[in-house]
Amino acid sequence: MIEVVKLSKHFGSKVAVDELSFTVQKGEVLGFLGPNGAGKSTTMRMVTGFIPPSSGEARICGISITADPTEAKKKIGYLPESAPLYNDMTVIGFLKFCAEIRKLSGSAKKDAVERAIETCFLGSVAHQSIDTLSKGYRHRTCLAQALLHDPEVLILDEPTDGLDPNQKYEVRQLIKRLGETKAILFSTHILEEVEASCTRAIIVDRGRIVEDGTPAELIAKAPHGSLTELFRKVTTSDTAA
Range of lowest pLDDT (45-54, 111-120, 193-202, 229-238): 229-238
Beta-ladder partners of 186: 31, 156
| pLDDT single digits (tens) 22-65 | 999 999 999 999 998 899 999 999 999 999 999 999 999 999 99
Looking at the predicted structure, is the pLDDT value of residue 241 above 80? no
Angle in degrees, 0-180, between the axes of helices 106-119 and 135-147, rounded to the nearest 10: 140
From CA 159, how far away is CA 41, in angstroms rounded?
A: 12
Looking at the predicted structure, is the pLDDT value of residue 177 above 60? yes
DSSP track, the chain: -EEEEEEEEEETTEEEEEEEEEEE-TT-EEEEE--TTSSHHHHHHHHTTSS--SEEEEEETTEETTTSHHHHHHTEEEE-TT----TTSBHHHHHHHHHHHTT--HHHHHHHHHHHHHHTT-GGGTTSBGGGS-HHHHHHHHHHHHHTT--SEEEEESTTTT--HHHHHHHHHHHHHHTTTSEEEEEES-THHHHHH-SEEEEEETTEEEEEE-HHHHHHHSGGG-HHHHHHHHS--TTT-
User: What is the CB-side half-sphere exposure of residue 165 using CA atoms within 13 A?
Assistant: 1
Tell me which of 75 and 158 has the higher pLDDT.
75
Looking at the predicted structure, is the pLDDT value of residue 13 above 50? yes
